[in-house]
């Protein structure tokens, strides 16, 4: 079967090579038959059969997975996303039982994200056909933020070309708020005014005590440093490329944060740009504001509208979102992505009890140590790490695909 939306992409179904064992019960016969129909590429009949089986036993995990695969082959994207989601949720709920996913959880998660993007592109195509330009633009932006594979990128560009000229021009790079391109060197900065803010929390020992801290005014980059900006730096300085640079430095990733950089890499970039890394206290104030919210956006629990987090696979840099994509997640000062997307190196050495003895004015971490501080969580981690007070320590030489940075500057 050929994939019509992708202009000829072959559908590739991820079906387990052998029969999947699951708890016997109502609907088992239909699920087994549906799996056979799916293998023989009788997708419509497989869908009907699997739906009948799940009507009898809605908790059958392989049934939901196979139904999602059938819907995916039929380009019924909402159906596919719904049943991948249900399979993942049931697998988490019954992980100690005999029922399980036919594929690894990471693989199913990637399939779920893929069909979600196809669904958004399909919506955009239909909206453009009916003259609904604004909703089509929003659907395309949402698809781009989730990450596009090569086939999706091709369709995305075709649909972008049908938008008004001002929108489609330069569509291969996401336009940042304020009109600047993420692929250029210029990075807008935000002034964080002098004054006190509430630092720390009672949720972890190294975040205690809660205290009012005074900081002088400083500037902070509005966005995380992007692949496009780091590419320009490497071109000019001839510094060592980070691991997987050829994978990151692709046209579809220019607006995404650069990762795989060490603490020293981050320091060198900021120096070259006439800036510096923020201190840990500066980072926390930039994220929380003067009143000390739990997250950059306030005290509301994180959702997919606030931040990019909880993904399971780097997926050749597709797991990261273009900078500035989460309007609902910006800090009180209008700074983006201080939760999720990429961990951010800060200047300070990490010390577990530093807050208990640090000065209350312009604190900087201990003069030496073994690990540096990274802040903000990343695309990979759970919601707990998105808290603005959360402290994380890492070897400064680490070049991890979750570690990025942004710069600060003294006025």
Average pLDDT rounded to a whole number, residues 103-125: 82
What Cα–Cα distance (Å) separates residue 237 from each residue in 230, 233, 391?
10, 6, 32
The pLDDT tens digits for 135-148 are 888 888 877 766 66
Q: How many CB atoms lie within 10 A of CB 177?
A: 15
pLDDT band at 6 (very low <50, low <70, confident <90, very high): very low
pLDDT band at 272 (very low <50, low <70, confident <90, very high): very high
Do 118 and 211 fall within a single domain? no
Do 235 and 303 fall within a single domain? yes
What is the domain-level CATH number for residue 115? 1.25.40.10
**Is it the case that residue 35 has pLDDT exceeding 70?**
yes
Do 160 and 305 fall within a single domain? no
Asked if residue 182 belongs to a domain, the reply is no
> For residues 365 and 190, what is the distance between their CA atoms, to the nearest angstrom?
23
DSSP 342-408: SEEEEEEEP-TTGGGT--SBS----S--S-EEEES--SSS-GGGGSTT--EEE-TT---TTEE---E
Asked if residue 173 belongs to a domain, the reply is no
> For residues 253 and 322, what is the distance between their CA atoms, to the nearest angstrom?
8
Alpha helices of 94-184 — where are they, by DSSP H?
105-129, 133-146, 150-161, 165-168
- Rg, the chain, Cα only: 24
pLDDT at 263: 96
Q: How many CB atoms lie within 10 A of CB 318?
A: 22
Torsion 377-319-122-158 (CA) sign:
positive
Q: Using an 8 Å Cβ cutoff, are 82 and 89 in contact?
A: no
Q: How many CB atoms lie within 10 A of CB 395?
A: 12
> For residues 274 and 269, what is the distance between their CA atoms, to the nearest angstrom?
9
- Name the domain count of the chain: 2
Do 206 and 119 fall within a single domain? no
Do 159 and 245 fall within a single domain? no
The pLDDT tens digits for 278-297 are 999 999 999 999 888 999 99
Point out the domain boundary residue: 168, 202, 225: 168
Do 208 and 135 fall within a single domain? no
pLDDT at 40: 92
Give the percent of the chain with pLDDT over 70. 85
Give the predicted TM-score (pTM) of the model: 0.59
* Run of H or E including 392: strand 392-394
**Is it the case that residue 182 has pLDDT exceeding 80?**
no
Asked if residue 153 belongs to a domain, the reply is yes
Closest by CA position to 332, among listed 364, 286, 375, 299:
286
Average pLDDT rounded to a whole number, residues 138-163: 77
Query: Hey, what are 40's tokens?
Result: 């023989």
Do 119 and 197 fall within a single domain? no
Asked if residue 202 belongs to a domain, the reply is yes
Helix%, strand%, coil% for the chain, nearest 5:
40, 10, 50
Specify the pairing of strand 9-10 against strand 343-349.
unpaired
What is the domain-level CATH number for residue 338? 3.90.1580.10
> For residues 170 and 168, what is the distance between their CA atoms, to the nearest angstrom?
6
**Is it the case that residue 100 has pLDDT exceeding 90?**
no
**Is it the case that residue 207 has pLDDT exceeding 90?**
yes
Point out the domain boundary residue: 138, 168, 198: 168
Instruction: Indicate the DSSP class of residue 306.
Output: T
Do 205 and 132 fall within a single domain? no
Q: Using an 8 Å Cβ cutoff, are 79 and 68 in contact?
A: yes
Q: Using an 8 Å Cβ cutoff, are 43 and 80 in contact?
A: no
Do 150 and 256 fall within a single domain? no
Asked if residue 178 belongs to a domain, the reply is no
**Is it the case that residue 209 has pLDDT exceeding 90?**
yes
Do 227 and 261 fall within a single domain? yes
> For residues 378 and 375, what is the distance between their CA atoms, to the nearest angstrom?
9
Do 248 and 122 fall within a single domain? no
pLDDT at 111: 83
> For residues 178 and 132, what is the distance between their CA atoms, to the nearest angstrom?
24
Asked if residue 174 belongs to a domain, the reply is no
Residue with tokens 């607006």: 255
| Crossing angle of the two packed helices 105-129 and 133-146, in degrees rounded to 10 | 160
pLDDT at 166: 41
Asked if residue 271 belongs to a domain, the reply is yes
> For residues 338 and 317, what is the distance between their CA atoms, to the nearest angstrom?
19
DSSP 48-113: HHHHHHHHH-TT-HHHHHHHHHHHHHTT-HHHHHHHHHHHHHHHHHTTTSS---SS-HHHHHHHHH
**Is it the case that residue 201 has pLDDT exceeding 60?**
yes
Point out the domain boundary residue: 115, 133, 168: 168
**Is it the case that residue 250 has pLDDT exceeding 50?**
yes
The pLDDT tens digits for 320-333 are 999 999 999 999 99
Residue with tokens 């009180």: 332
The pLDDT tens digits for 119-132 are 889 888 988 888 88
Domain residue limits at 398: 189-409
Do 230 and 283 fall within a single domain? yes
Q: Using an 8 Å Cβ cutoff, are 100 and 22 in contact?
A: yes
Asked if residue 55 belongs to a domain, the reply is yes
Query: Hey, what are 68's tokens?
Result: 């999602």
Query: Hey, what are 42's tokens?
Result: 């009788």
pLDDT at 131: 86
10 Å CB burial of residue 234 (0-12, 13-18, 19+) is middle
The pLDDT tens digits for 48-99 are 999 999 999 998 999 999 999 999 999 999 898 889 888 888 877 765 444 5
């Amino acid at each position: 079967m050929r994939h019509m939306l992708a202009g000829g992409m072959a559908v590739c179904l991820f079906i387990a090579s052998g029969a999947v064992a699951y708890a016997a019960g109502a609907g088992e016969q239909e699920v087994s038959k549906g799996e056979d129909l799916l293998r023989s590429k009788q997708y419509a009949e497989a869908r009907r059969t699997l739906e009948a089986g799940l009507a009898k036993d809605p908790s059958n995990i392989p049934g939901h997975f196979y139904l999602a695969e059938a819907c995916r082959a039929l380009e019924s994207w909402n159906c596919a996303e719904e049943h991948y989601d249900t399979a993942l949720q049931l697998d988490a709920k019954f992980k100690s039982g005999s029922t399980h996913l036919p594929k690894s959880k990471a693989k199913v998660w990637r399939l779920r994200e893929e069909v979600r993007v196809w669904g958004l592109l399909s919506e955009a195509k239909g909206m453009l056909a009916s003259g609904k330009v604004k909703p089509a633009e929003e659907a395309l932006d949402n698809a781009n933020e989730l990450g596009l594979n090569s086939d999706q990128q091709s369709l995305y560009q075709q649909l972008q070309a049908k938008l008004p000229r001002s929108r489609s021009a330069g569509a291969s790079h996401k336009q940042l708020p304020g009109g600047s391109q993420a692929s250029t060197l210029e990075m807008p900065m935000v002034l964080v005014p002098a004054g006190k803010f509430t630092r720390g929390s009672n949720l972890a020992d190294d975040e205690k005590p809660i205290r009012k801290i005074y900081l002088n005014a400083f500037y902070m980059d509005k966005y995380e440093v992007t692949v496009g900006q780091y590419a320009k730096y490497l071109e000019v300085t001839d510094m060592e490329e980070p691991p997987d640079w050829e994978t990151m430095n692709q046209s579809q990733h220019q607006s995404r944060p650069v990762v795989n950089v060490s603490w020293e890499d981050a320091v060198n970039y900021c120096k070259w740009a006439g800036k510096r890394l923020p201190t840990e206290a500066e980072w926390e104030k930039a994220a929380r504001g003067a009143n000390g919210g739990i997250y950059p956006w306030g005290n509301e629990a994180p959702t997919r509208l606030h931040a990019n987090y909880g993904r399971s696979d780097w997926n050749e840099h597709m797991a990261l979102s273009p900078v500035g994509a989460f309007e609902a997640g910006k800090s009180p000062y209008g700074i983006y992505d201080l939760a999720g997307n990429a961990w951010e190196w800060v200047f300070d050495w990490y010390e577990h009890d530093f807050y208990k003895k640090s000065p209350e004015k312009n604190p900087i971490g201990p003069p030496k140590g073994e690990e540096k501080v990274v802040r903000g969580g990343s695309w990979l981690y759970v919601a707990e790490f998105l808290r603005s007070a959360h402290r994380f320590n890492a070897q400064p030489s680490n070049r991890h695909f979750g570690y990025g940075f942004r710069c600060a500057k003294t006025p």
